[in-house]
Amino acid sequence: MKLSKLLGGPVSSLILALSVPAMIAATPALAQTPKSATMVIGFGPGGGYDMWGRVVGRHIGKHMPGNPTVIIQNMPGAGSFVAASWIYNIGAKDGSVLGIIARDAVMGPLIGADGARFDPNKMSWLGTPVTETNVCFASNTADVKSVDDLTKKQLIIGDTGPGTGTRTYPLALTALLGMKFKIIAGFPSSSDVFLAIERGEVDGMCESLDSVSGKRPDWLKTGRVKLLFHGGAEPNPHLKDVPFVLDLTKDAQTRSEIKFLYAGQGIGRPFVAPPALPPEKLKMLRDAFMATMKDPEFVADAKNQKLDLEPEDGEHLEKLIKEIYATPKATVDKIGDLIKQ
């Protein structure tokens, strides 16, 4: 019997059964769409990174194929080195794993920091919702009232881990500019440090401006804390009356070292995914991230939490990180030695 006479019978069913999987396999962007995704946050609950991870996590699933449910997983430890290393070495490469890590964690592998088991040049960078300004501030009950006082009197500050500006900036500036910081370690998140400030256990902190204004908006308005100086890729136009860190020295070499120290501020609040993603998966995640940044519901959610939006895409972050890793070795070694203490 000819095959044509069997079409419509068992043979046609067999052909269909064999051809459908082949067609699905030929369209990898549509195949194996995750029903859920995991958002790994490199800090404990309550801090600025946690706020950003959760607000993005609430909306990004709408812009991913299949609209997966996004599950939040806090993975604190070593200033987000634990989370970054997990995402890099263990996270699934099917588009279902993404996360947020400390901007300064990028420096870890460059300076040979313990626990930084990832390569920023190979990590998949998705984007950041904001570029950052770091502020070092003191409680109004502290003896330190100005940046000049900071070179004469000790300021006790809280620290959330070795991969964060809460430790790296005061460590380096103590050596470079003679500032007198006393660092108290062991806080899981910036929220824990804020509570310690309110209890009088520490006197201040070096932290992102958006974290301070978002979680304690009354502090700046009422004078509960005093901004001593700020740092970033460039001066913040909204802080004209607050000294900019590069203006605290006229020595060209020191300025170059401080500029490298603060290079991570341009990275903002970086969202990442595992390395070596299939190109269509990386594009999907980057497109989903940037679509989220324009989502009216996300924008309203971020504003409701007093989070500013100045997004940059993954390609921008990738380029910036390559520039950071092209820094002269002498500068890298010096800053690395200072902040690995």
Domain with CATH 3.40.190.10 in the chain: 134-264
pLDDT at 60 over 60: yes
Return the SS3 of 137: strand
Taking residues 315-333, report their average pLDDT. Answer: 93
Taking residues 102-129, report their average pLDDT. Answer: 93
- Angle of CA points 193, 172, 334, to nearest 5°: 145
| Cβ neighbours for 280, distance < 8 A, ≥ 6 positions apart | 28, 29
What backbone torsions phi and psi does residue 209 show, to the nearest 5 degrees? -60, -40
Across 3-17, 134-148, 182-196, least confident range: 3-17
Q: If pLDDT is split at 50, 70 and 90, which confidence band does 4 have?
A: very low
Q: What distance in Å separates the CA atoms of residue 241 and residue 86, rounded to the nearest whole number? A: 41
pTM equals 0.73
Neighbour-count burial of 22, counting CB atoms closer than 10 A to its CB (0-12 exposed, 13-18 middle, 19+ buried): exposed
Helix (H) or strand (E) holding 8: none
Taking residues 46-69, report their average pLDDT. Answer: 95
Q: What distance in Å separates the CA atoms of residue 52 and residue 55, rounded to the nearest whole number? A: 5
At position 281, the amino acid (one-letter code) is K
CATH number for the region 134-264 comes to: 3.40.190.10
Domain with CATH 3.40.190.150 in the chain: 36-131+267-339
CATH says 36-131+267-339 is which class?
alpha beta
At position 41, the amino acid (one-letter code) is I
Q: If pLDDT is split at 50, 70 and 90, which confidence band does 33 have?
A: low
Q: Which residues pair with 182 in a beta bridge?
A: 156
